[in-house]
């Protein structure tokens, strides 16, 4: 496999930095390693990487602050890797613009899988999102508002379709409950959080998804949902 | 004793009479002198009235003043009105003089006595107030319950001019301390005493308890006294006891507050330490397991790959252990905060099964969830942990080809979760201790990777925090069954 895509690893722990780097270089990816938030911001501005792996506990500034600053000028995908296991922090990081979140200790294979999903998306030009989406058996036709699974058309209500399109357009990215509600509902009430669960359950049934062996929609309990096209 | 009192009283009466007679005699002498040098006899009246005033001033009570008034009247009548040396009166005006003199004398003597009495009461009050103030201020300065007791016996001893004892029960052990103030000695003796000694010390003395029925601090013993002065002063004792009690209350509360504060700081320190440890352990553990994982795919020799796999597995086990200890500490500190949201049961169970499959090997995990979407208000992450722990437990106790079943069903106002396996089941002897912290089933003791028995106690704590209950039993056909329910709230009814 040969790939000239550039990975930026922002991590102050030497061992973690080196094994992430080793596993990425195994796959022939190029990597840059930095240890502080300031260095990360400089690199992202000077030589934009294709993906950023970011630790939240940096010596010079909070990781969330790094995400906010990067998002003010760049859409580069960010995967957060953190030793802190707080739902609040997870949602904060995702809402600040991070794409995915892994809690330490994490499996390197899991990290690689998530990176692959994000990389595939970032290779697709942005204009493509208005046409149709293919993933294995699943075809989502954005123009005609149609969904096909294994060649058969499946009926989706307008709301279900909106949610599915939002997920499909952001493969690999964890969409928090509040983000989905904000985008799909516009303004929302707390009671809409229940409706979201029900819509998701219906979408899952229409796609013949078993939540314990998901093909497309991964549940992040207490956080949100993630579309995968692995 | 009674004889003594009578004797003392007789002495007092005698003394008063002596004052009366000497003043009266002096007045009579002066009156004779006035008469002899030829001044008008009426001046003697003035001298006698003056003498009655003096008697009233220097004796106690009304009695001696009135007695002096009659003496003076009789003496004037006898010596200074004609006919002399008889109690007869020739001149009618003398009768008026004598009557006015008697009335004036009696009035003066009673007024003087009253005045004296009032000023004595005022002086007494002042000294009592001073004494109370002194005691209050010394009690205010005392710090600690035992210091209050020492100050109390000292003050009472000074006030009553006698020996005073205070016996305090010590809360920490069941012993008692004795505070002893001796008359005229500024030092306080403090001794440890037992019940028998307490009885010895308190017998024959007046015993005053300090504190109310729920909160008894100890007792104060003072000798029974009879002198009028002491009795007067003893009237102050209840007020002082009240002061002592409130001082002890104050000191006890401040001591309790101090202890609570120390405990809180201790807890805070512990919490910070655990947070730091959790962060500082997770990072190196992530480094070790990640590195081992990379080695597992990079190493060429199979033996080396197996070694790396060993590191990887051991690290994962250690990680789980750390997470469990942290969860349990959080629960035990009462810091388990539920972030309840309506969650779809199928999502939580699905996620648990998905996670458990990674460690299940060849075992089959079957989940049976109602077809209808079931929403329930819960902390999704924690219930996920409950299910993962139960499934992990089932994996540990089944053979590599075992079957684990997860079933969800509802009854009227509960959602039941059931995790069953076809493994070895639960030993009857283990049943009562299953959910205790640090309990490990007998068969697993000594095996290196058995865990330290935290999983199930965490499970129970989480279920209970949600208002549910958990049960364990054995299947008739072999294997263990864990069932727990969560109550259905109005906010998340069935759909």
Residue A221 sits in a domain whose CATH number is 1.10.10.10
The residue of chain A nearest to residue B320, with distances taken between CA atoms, is A105
CATH of the domain at A39: 3.40.50.2300
| Sign of the dihedral through C-alpha B273, B278, B283, B284 | positive
Instruction: Work out the minimum CA distance from A55 to partner chain B, whole angstroms.
Output: 11
Q: Assess if residue A91 is contained within a domain.
A: yes
Verify that A108 and A18 share a domain, yes or no.
yes
**Tens-binned pLDDT, residue by residue, of chain A (230 aa):** 446 789 999 998 899 999 999 999 888 889 999 999 999 999 998 888 999 999 988 888 888 999 999 999 888 999 999 877 667 788 888 989 899 998 888 888 889 988 888 887 765 554 445 577 777 788 888 888 888 888 888 899 988 999 999 998 888 888 988 889 988 888 777 778 888 999 999 999 998 888 888 889 999 888 899 998 76
Q: In what order do the strands lie in the sheet with B188-193?
A: B188-193, B176-181, B164-169, B216-223, B205-211
Which residue in the set B290, B342, B353 is minimally distant from A19, CB to CB? B290
Cα-to-chain-centroid distance, residue B407: 52
Verify that A135 and A214 share a domain, yes or no.
yes
Cis ω before A225 (30° cut-off from 0): no
Which residue in the set A57, A104, A107 is minimally distant from B293, CB to CB? A107
**What is the mean pLDDT of each successive set of 10 residues along chain B, which is 495 residues long?**
68 86 90 87 86 86 85 86 82 85 88 89 86 85 84 83 82 77 80 81 82 80 74 78 86 89 85 74 87 89 90 86 78 75 91 87 89 88 90 88 91 91 83 73 51 77 90 87 85 40
Q: Where are the beta strands (DSSP E) in B139-292?
A: 164-169, 176-181, 188-193, 205-211, 216-223
Q: Is B381 close to A87, i.e. CB distance below 8 A?
A: yes
Which whole-number Å values give the CA distances from B87 to B25, B72, B95, B98, in the listed order? Answer: 19, 13, 11, 11
Q: Is A221 close to B343, i.e. CB distance below 8 A?
A: yes
Verify that A118 and A10 share a domain, yes or no.
yes
Verify that A69 and A144 share a domain, yes or no.
no
Q: Assess if residue A205 is contained within a domain.
A: yes
Q: List chain A residues with CB under 8 Å of B317.
A: none
Q: pTM of this prediction?
A: 0.62
Q: Assess if residue A90 is contained within a domain.
A: yes
What ipTM describes this predicted complex?
0.83
Verify that A51 and A137 share a domain, yes or no.
no
Q: What are phi and psi of B359, to 5 degrees?
A: -110, 5
Among A93, A122, A151, residue at a domain's last position? A122
Q: Is B282 close to A106, i.e. CB distance below 8 A?
A: no
Verify that A10 and A55 share a domain, yes or no.
yes
Domain B337-492: which CATH number of 3.30.565.10, 3.90.1150.10, 2.40.110.10, 3.40.50.2300: 3.30.565.10
Verify that A81 and A172 share a domain, yes or no.
no
Per residue in B255-288, is it b (16+ CB within 10 Å) or e — as a string?
eeeeeeeeeeeeeeeeeeebeeebeebbbbbbbb
Q: Is A104 close to B286, i.e. CB distance below 8 A?
A: yes
Q: Taking the CA of residue B477 as centre, how many other CA atoms within 13 Å lie in the half-sphere pointing to its CB?
A: 4
Verify that A207 and A156 share a domain, yes or no.
yes
Do B97 and B119 touch, CB atoms closer than 8 A?
Answer: no
How many domains, chain A? 2
Helices and strands per DSSP (H, E), number in chain A: 8, 12
Strand partners, B209: B219
Q: Assess if residue A96 is contained within a domain.
A: yes
Verify that A172 and A191 share a domain, yes or no.
yes
Among A106, A122, A138, residue at a domain's last position? A122
DSSP letter for B460, please: H
Strand partners, B486: B415
The residue of chain A nearest to residue B288, with distances taken between CA atoms, is A15
DSSP letter for B156, please: H
Interface of A with B in 66-85 (CB under 8 A): 83-85
Do A105 and B319 touch, CB atoms closer than 8 A?
Answer: yes
Helix or strand (DSSP H, E) at B316? helix B302-332
Strand partners, A103: A82
Cα-to-chain-centroid distance, residue B43: 75
The residue of chain B nearest to residue A14, with distances taken between CA atoms, is B287
Q: Is A108 close to B365, i.e. CB distance below 8 A?
A: no
Q: Is B342 close to A213, i.e. CB distance below 8 A?
A: no
Q: Assess if residue A1 is contained within a domain.
A: no
Which whole-number Å values give the CA distances from A187 to A58, A163, A181, in the listed order? Answer: 35, 15, 8
pLDDT over 70 percentage in chain A = 93
Verify that A79 and A177 share a domain, yes or no.
no
Do B426 and B472 touch, CB atoms closer than 8 A?
Answer: yes
**What's the domain range around A131?**
127-227
Do B56 and B64 touch, CB atoms closer than 8 A?
Answer: yes
Give the domain B142-235 fold.
Beta-Lactamase (3.30.450)
Do B394 and B467 touch, CB atoms closer than 8 A?
Answer: no
Verify that A114 and A183 share a domain, yes or no.
no
Tell me whether A190 touches chain B (CB under 8 Å): no
Q: List chain A residues with CB under 8 Å of B277.
A: none
Q: What is the dihedral of CA A39, A41, A46, A52, to 10 degrees?
A: 100
Q: Is B351 close to A221, i.e. CB distance below 8 A?
A: yes
Instruction: Work out the minimum CA distance from A224 to partner chain B, whole angstroms.
Output: 11
The residue of chain A nearest to residue B365, with distances taken between CA atoms, is A212
Among A91, A122, A153, residue at a domain's last position? A122
Verify that A137 and A222 share a domain, yes or no.
yes
Q: What is the pLDDT of residue B5?
A: 65
Rounded CA gap, A7 and A3, in Å? 11
């Amino acid at each position: 496999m040969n790939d000239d895509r550039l990975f930026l690893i922002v991590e102050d722990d030497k061992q973690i930095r080196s094994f992430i780097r080793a596993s990425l270089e195994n796959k022939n990816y190029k990597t840059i390693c930095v240890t502080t938030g300031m260095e990360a911001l400089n690199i992202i501005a000077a030589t934009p990487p294709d993906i950023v792996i970011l630790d939240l506990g940096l010596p010079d500034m909070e990781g969330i602050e790094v995400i906010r600053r990067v998002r003010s000028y760049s859409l580069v995908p960010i995967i957060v890797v953190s030793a802190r296991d707080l739902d609040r922090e997870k949602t904060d990081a995702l809402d600040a613009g991070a794409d995915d979140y892994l809690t330490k200790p994490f499996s390197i294979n899991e990290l690689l899988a998530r990176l692959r999903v994000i990389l595939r998306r970032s290779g697709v030009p942005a204009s493509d999102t208005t046409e149709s989406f293919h993933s294995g058996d699943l075809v989502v036709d954005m123009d005609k508002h149609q969904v096909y699974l294994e060649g058969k058309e499946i009926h989706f209500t307008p709301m279900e379709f909106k949610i599915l399109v939002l997920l499909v357009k952001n493969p690999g990215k964890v969409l928090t409950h509040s983000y989905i509600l904000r985008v799909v509902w516009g303004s929302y009430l707390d009671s809409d959080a229940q409706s979201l669960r029900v819509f998701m359950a219906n979408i899952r049934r229409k796609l013949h998804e078993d939540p314990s062996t998901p093909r497309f929609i991964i549940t992040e309990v207490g956080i949100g949902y993630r579309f995968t096209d692995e | 004793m009674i004889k003594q009192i009578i004797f003392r009283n007789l002495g007092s009466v005698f003394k008063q009479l002596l004052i009366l007679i000497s003043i009266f005699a002096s007045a009579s002498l002066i009156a004779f002198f006035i008469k002899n040098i030829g001044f008008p006899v009426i001046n003697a009246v003035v001298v006698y009235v003056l003498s009655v005033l003096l008697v009233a001033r220097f004796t106690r009570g009304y009695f001696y003043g009135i007695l002096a008034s009659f003496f003076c009247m009789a003496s004037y009548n006898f010596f200074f009105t004609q006919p002399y040396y008889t109690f007869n009166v020739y001149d009618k005006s003398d009768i008026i003089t004598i009557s006015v003199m008697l009335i004036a004398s009696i009035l003066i003597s009673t007024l003087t006595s009253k005045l004296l009495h009032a000023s004595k009461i005022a002086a007494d009050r002042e000294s009592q107030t001073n004494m109370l103030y002194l005691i209050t201020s010394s009690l205010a300065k005392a710090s600690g319950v035992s210091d209050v007791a020492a100050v109390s016996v000292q003050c009472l001893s000074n006030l009553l001019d006698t020996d005073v004892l205070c016996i305090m029960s010590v809360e920490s052990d069941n012993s008692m301390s004795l505070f002893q103030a001796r008359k005229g000695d500024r030092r306080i003796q403090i001794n440890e005493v037992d019940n028998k000694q307490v009885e010895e010390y308190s017998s024959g003395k007046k015993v005053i308890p300090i504190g109310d029925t729920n909160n008894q601090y100890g007792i104060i013993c003072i000798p029974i006294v009879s002198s009028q002065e002491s009795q007067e002063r003893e009237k102050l004792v209840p007020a002082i006891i009240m002061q002592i009690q409130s001082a002890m209350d104050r000191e006890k509360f401040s001591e309790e507050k101090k202890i609570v504060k120390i405990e809180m700081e201790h807890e805070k320190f512990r919490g910070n330490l655990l947070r730091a440890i959790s962060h500082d352990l997770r990072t190196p553990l992530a480094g070790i397991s990640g590195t081992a994982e990379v080695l597992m795919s990079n190493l060429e020799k199979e033996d080396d790959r197996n070694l790396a796999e060993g590191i990887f597995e051991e690290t994962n086990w250690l990680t789980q252990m750390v997470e469990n200890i942290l969860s349990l500490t959080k629960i035990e500190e009462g810091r388990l905060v539920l972030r309840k949201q309506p969650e779809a049961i199928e999502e939580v169970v699905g996620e648990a099964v998905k996670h458990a499959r990674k460690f299940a090997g060849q075992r089959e995990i079957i989940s049976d969830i109602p077809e209808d979407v079931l929403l329930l208000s819960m902390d999704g992450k924690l219930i996920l942990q409950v299910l993962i722990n139960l499934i992990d437990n089932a994996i540990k106790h089944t053979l590599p080809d075992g079957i684990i079943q997860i079933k969800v069903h509802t009854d009227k106002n509960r959602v039941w979760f059931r995790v069953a396996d076809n493994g070895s089941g639960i030993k009857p002897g283990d049943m009562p201790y299953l959910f205790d912290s640090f309990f490990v089933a007998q068969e697993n003791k000594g095996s290196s990777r058995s865990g330290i028995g935290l999983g199930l106690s965490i499970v129970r704590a989480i279920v209970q925090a949600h208002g549910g209950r958990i049960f364990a039993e054995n299947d008739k056909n072999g294997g263990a069954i864990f069932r727990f329910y969560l109550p259905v709230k109005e906010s998340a009814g069935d759909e």
